[in-house]
Amino acid sequence: MTKRDNSLQRRFGPTALVTGASDGIGRAFALQLAEQGFNLILVARRRTALRELARDLGVRFGTEVAVIPIDLSAPDAVATVLEETKGAQIGLVIAAAGFGSVGPFLHQDMASEINMVDLNCRSVVELSHGFGQRMAQQGRGGIVLFGSLVGFNGAPLSATYAATKGFVQSFAEGIAAEMRPLGVQVLSVAPGPVGTGFAVRAGMQMGRAATPDTVARSALAALGRRGTVRPGALAKVLGWSLAMLPRWGRVRVMGVIMKGMSGKDTAGTPAPGKDTAVSRG
Ligand SMILES: NC(=O)c1ccc[n+]([C@@H]2O[C@H](COP(=O)([O-])OP(=O)(O)OC[C@H]3O[C@@H](n4cnc5c(N)ncnc54)[C@H](OP(=O)(O)O)[C@@H]3O)[C@@H](O)[C@H]2O)c1
């Protein structure tokens, strides 16, 4: 039997909170953190999926797991999470809950786009503020936020989603510098395509997707060592290549990539409602 590596748990504290834990990347984090000896608080909307995961982690790793089924895009959701976790000594927060839309901006459903901003940006700011304050008081902690390869410039056919990820990237860089002297490490994870429900739900082709496991492993290895990590070979290669272009060139290339992955076009698009896809991811 291989020896458990508990070094992260010793560095950050006994309990980790993971949002978006019912699926995809958040779920992969939950598994790896349980394996490393963390107790867990799992947050997402689907109560049954969270409970099943909690039971599984308890059986496999003896992990203490609490679940908070909640819609984090709702105005008072993060306040509820902060209230419900008051007594817990949370050393690590993984804010993986998020979703995106694909298709021409003018054909998107406005309520859904605003909901995306609420979840991907507002809830992330609130979580970082609430838990950041607690961690600063403890003198240690880690916060993992999710940017994306598409968050370093505008992305046609995924304009709002890319902008939410650009917001998170910039926000993470700013608070990382502020919180580091307080003992709190902040990491932005900026993957390229990852093989989760995202691609399936959006009807996108993601040929060379990284696995959620790779994303979680790279992020946990980078936490406290770097400010941004780009997990997966494709994210690295595309990131380096795009970085050599001027910003307008990156936007153009991103448009070609998004067109190829989504099968949608910015011009001569079909009628609204026929070509929009909303995807968590
Ligand atoms: N997959 C990719 O290609 C990719 C690439 C770059 C960055 N990312 C980022 O990585 C993060 C995780 O993505 P993923 O691929 O793991 O997506 P995913 O498989 O679709 O999982 C998303 C998770 O977020 C939860 N969630 C969605 N809306 C929520 C809400 N309103 N309130 C609470 N929880 C909510 C979902 O659970 P419930 O449905 O149970 O609520 C699910 O657990 C996201 O921030 C995404 O933007 C993904």
Atom index in ligand 1 nearest the CA of residue 120 equals 45
Q: What is the pLDDT of residues 159-196, one digit of tens each?
A: 999 999 999 999 999 999 999 999 999 999 999 999 99
For residue 139, tell me if it sits in a domain.
yes
| Rounded average pLDDT over 97-125 | 96
- Split at pLDDT 50, 70, 90, the class of 281 is very low
The 10s digit of each residue's pLDDT in 117-146 is 999 999 999 999 999 999 999 999 999 999
CB 21 within 8 A of CB 75: no
Inside any domain, residue 1: no
> Does the residue 186 lie in any domain?
yes
For 61-109, give the DSSP string.
H---EEEEE--TTSTTHHHHHHHHTTTS-EEEEEE---EEEES-GGGS-
Q: Which domain holds residue 248?
A: 7-280
Judge whether 2 lies within some domain.
Answer: no
Distance 2 CA to ligand 1 centre (A): 31
164, part of any domain: yes
Residue 41: strand pairing partners: 17, 66
Q: Residue 55 falls within a domain, yes or no?
A: yes
Ligand 1 site, residue 153, Cβ cutoff 6 A: no
Q: What is the number of the ligand 1 atom nearest to the C-alpha of 206?
A: 3
Domain count, the chain: 1
User: Can you give the CATH number for the domain in which 138 is found?
Assistant: 3.40.50.720
Inside any domain, residue 41: yes
Task: Find the distance separating the first CA and the last CA of the chain, reported in whole Å.
Answer: 35
pLDDT confidence bin for 12, thresholds 50/70/90: very high
Q: Ligand 1 centre and the CA of 144: distance in Å?
A: 14
pTM of the model: 0.94
pLDDT for 45-76, tens place per residue?
999 999 999 999 999 999 999 999 999 999 99
Q: Let me know if residue 144 belongs to a domain.
A: yes
Identify the residue with better confidence: 81 or 238: 81
Q: Mutation test of ligand 1: which of 158, 194, 257 has the most ligand atoms closer than 8 Å to its C-beta?
A: 194
Ligand 1 center–CA 156 separation, angstroms: 21
